[in-house]
Homo-oligomer: A and B are copies of this chain.
Amino acid sequence: MTDNICVTEFAPASLNDEEEEKLAAQAKALAHPARVRLLKVMAAQPGCVGGDLVNSIGLAQSTVSEHLRILKDAGFILAEAQRPRICYSVNRAELKSFNFLFEKSFTL
Contacts and interface: CB of A to CB of B under 8 A. Distances in A.
Interface of A: 4-8, 10-15, 20-21, 23-25, 27-28, 30-33, 35-37, 39-41, 43-50, 52, 56, 82, 85, 87, 90, 92, 95-96, 98-99, 102-103, 105-108
A39 B108 CA distance: 12
Copy number in the complex reads 2
Nearest to A52: B8
Contacts of A103: 99
Given A20-B37, A27-B36, A43-B107, 19 more contacts: A4-B50, A6-B49, A7-B48, A7-B49, A8-B49, A10-B41, A11-B45, A15-B40, A20-B33, A20-B40, A24-B33, A24-B36, A27-B27, A27-B31, A28-B31, A31-B31, A39-B105, A96-B108, A99-B99
